[in-house]
Structure 1
């Protein structure tokens, strides 16, 4: 039975906006969770391949840790399986690694010294295993790659979204660092090759743009040196993380932590607001120049309020009513509950400000057109 290492629980007392690492390690709640960031990278940033690459590399690290933990357990109990039997030196390395229960696989700049040492030893062990001609056998029926066999023949050329991100924002509340299957040595090799052929080779289906020296070193390491240890991808993973942190994450926070609308909804409110304001001014001038009574002109409150409300919502990227009831839009007309406490506080403050602005502008327009003297032309 595979060891289950749950992801760290979200910090409910965080009195600040989350970092990208906290989002990627699933320590945040909607609307600044990993699901929302994935949707943002897919729909707004149009660069979801970079996020998929980072997640696949993190999963590759998890596979390696799980594989080494299985070997270590077999050594500790003294009953290693036939093709997992190791030399005394390898056994000593496995025992020195510890449990390796890191909750997430993050960029190297956020890794503690202990985790760095363990990951370096793990990579060295995997390289030594490859150099010694370790039998990379066919995967057993319960292994990862056996569950994925034949997938390549059945998939179409259309890009398929990650299933775990396309169902519901509530399905990503917890996750495990360990897969629920036995991991064979061939699975690690297949995982490394899949990342290389999917994202890094020139002309790959989902090629991402990285510095040439990084992609060249990874390609040579995997194809010529036969490496598949996690350190192969360290430079690329850190580069992609820093690129997302610099180019995409600030916009994500602006949209999700300071607003609750997606661009199509904002555009819809802009159009509705302009139409309502046009109708309000048109009717107001008609009522004034036909000298209608003030109690009739009071009905201008409806188009003016709707128009100003929609225009303010467009300007702020935030619908005050949705904010007050605790909802945030992640795709057009699809909503999730705002569960991150600090974000909920920010949205309520901005919603209150937007409501005051709406009230002041709408009231000014209504007073002007209701109390101005009428004159029949």
Structure 2
């Protein structure tokens, strides 16, 4: 198997900015702005994880197609007997001109280089000609040489995963030689799972896009990656516009998930109520100022909790380098720029907390007592 598919692209450790959506989807980022965290956000907060699953399945389909064509190109280049099965000299010419196709991430058309666009267009052209010729390049050990059921549960969804490490592995790397039957099954699975009306996990796309894909796959028999280009670009733009800004706000400027924020709101309100209640009791029973200093405990808990809720940031958690990805489950912050942002905001939140806490304690300690 080619090295380009054996591992995920390396993260950019020197990035001095927030990552883009494409960098997150192509696994070039680290927690808490990695693909696993984005998946959890789309599932739990955005409630639109089907769009991300569609993108991941299309990326998987592109990977299968590239692996299939790469294996055929290798056969042609080394002159093995399998090269004799090439449908035409034109197909062989296309294969030889494709190059190594060492760009495993399936990005939107707008972010692809001219070389990548040209290679993908030639690959799709070869797959269409290969389909028209009726030639099946399926080695005996390929996935397509065995009976296969293409239900929506063939591949475990990332939503079933319990660890961040499981999604960051390169699931786009085929474990066996890929046959044309695998490519066809992959295209049909995407169509029947996400695009047909009433599908199991139907996503909402413009009718013109879904109609063209349906006709291309079911009537024209196409399964090349260009079939999904319009839908892939539409979904990418929708996630970039509607979901990704909120994801960055939650993960790059904060480190708490909504259930934790709600818990801190309740705790903060209760602690502040207890602090004010005890403070007035101590004043109207004319307790000494030294005794009233103990008000610092409920006020500190209350102000800290309410500040954490207001800024979606637990400053102590941020300063020790952790971020929450699900309720009471934490991962270490490994993206350097995000770590710097969180540390700066943590210090600011701590400053606000100390200022308000000190003001409340001074107010209720030095106000004159009066026994009723």
* Fold conserved between structures, TM > 0.5: yes
User: Shift of the alpha carbon at 1:160?
Assistant: 6.0
Q: 1:271 to 1:160 in 2, by over 3 A?
A: farther
Kindly indicate whether residue 307 of structure 2 is the aligned counterpart of residue 276 of structure 1: no
Which residue pairs with 1:257 in the alignment?
A: 252
User: Shift of the alpha carbon at 1:2?
Assistant: 5.2
User: Shift of the alpha carbon at 1:88?
Assistant: 1.9
Which residue pairs with 2:102 in the alignment?
A: 101
Which residue pairs with 1:66 in the alignment?
A: 67
Kindly indicate whether residue 314 of structure 2 is the aligned counterpart of residue 319 of structure 1: yes
Which residue pairs with 1:149 in the alignment?
A: 148
Q: Do the aligned partners of 1:2 and 1:180 also contact (CA within 8 Å) in 2?
A: no
Kindly indicate whether residue 127 of structure 2 is the aligned counterpart of residue 131 of structure 1: no
Q: 1:83 to 1:172 in 2, by over 3 A?
A: farther
User: Shift of the alpha carbon at 1:141?
Assistant: 4.6
Which residue pairs with 2:179 in the alignment?
A: 184
Output aligned runs, 1:277-356, within 5 Å: 277-356=272-351
Describe the SS at the equivalent of 1:206: coil
Which residue pairs with 1:208 in the alignment?
A: 203
Describe the SS at the equivalent of 1:329: strand
Compute the RMSD of aligned alpha carbons. 2.1
Q: Do the aligned partners of 1:53 and 1:199 also contact (CA within 8 Å) in 2?
A: yes
Describe the SS at the equivalent of 2:42: helix
User: Shift of the alpha carbon at 1:67?
Assistant: 0.1
Which residue pairs with 2:29 in the alignment?
A: 28
Structure 2 stretches lacking a partner, 5+ long: none
Q: 1:11-39 CA deviation, whole Å, 9 max, x = no partner?
A: 11111100000000111000000000000
Q: 1:150 to 1:219 in 2, by over 3 A?
A: closer
Q: 1:59-97 CA deviation, whole Å, 9 max, x = no partner?
A: 100100000000001111111438843422211110010
Describe the SS at the equivalent of 2:243: helix
Q: Do the aligned partners of 1:145 and 1:187 also contact (CA within 8 Å) in 2?
A: no
Runs of 4+ in 1 over 6 A off after TM superposition: none
User: Shift of the alpha carbon at 1:176?
Assistant: 6.8
Q: 1:45 to 1:140 in 2, by over 3 A?
A: farther
Q: Do the aligned partners of 1:3 and 1:178 also contact (CA within 8 Å) in 2?
A: no
Equivalent of residue 194 in structure 2, options 179, 199, 215: 199
Normalized against structure 2, the TM-score is what?
0.95
Q: Which range moved further: 14-23 or 75-84?
A: 75-84
Which residue pairs with 2:224 in the alignment?
A: 229
Structure 1 stretches lacking a partner, 5+ long: none
User: Shift of the alpha carbon at 1:296?
Assistant: 1.0
Q: Do the aligned partners of 1:108 and 1:116 also contact (CA within 8 Å) in 2?
A: yes
Q: What is the rounded CA distance, in whole Å, between the counterparts of 2:144 and 2:135 in structure 1?
A: 19
Q: What is the rounded CA distance, in whole Å, between the counterparts of 1:289 and 1:244 in structure 2?
A: 57
Which residue pairs with 1:114 in the alignment?
A: 115
Which residue pairs with 1:166 in the alignment?
A: 161
Aligned residues: 371
Q: Which range moved further: 23-32 or 167-176?
A: 167-176
Describe the SS at the equivalent of 1:81: helix
Normalized against structure 1, the TM-score is what?
0.93
Q: Which range moved further: 335-344 or 88-97?
A: 88-97
Q: Which range moved further: 245-254 or 1-10?
A: 1-10
User: Shift of the alpha carbon at 1:145?
Assistant: 8.2
Q: Do the aligned partners of 1:198 and 1:205 also contact (CA within 8 Å) in 2?
A: yes
Q: 1:103 to 1:15 in 2, by over 3 A?
A: same
Q: What is the rounded CA distance, in whole Å, between the counterparts of 2:162 and 2:85 in structure 1?
A: 38
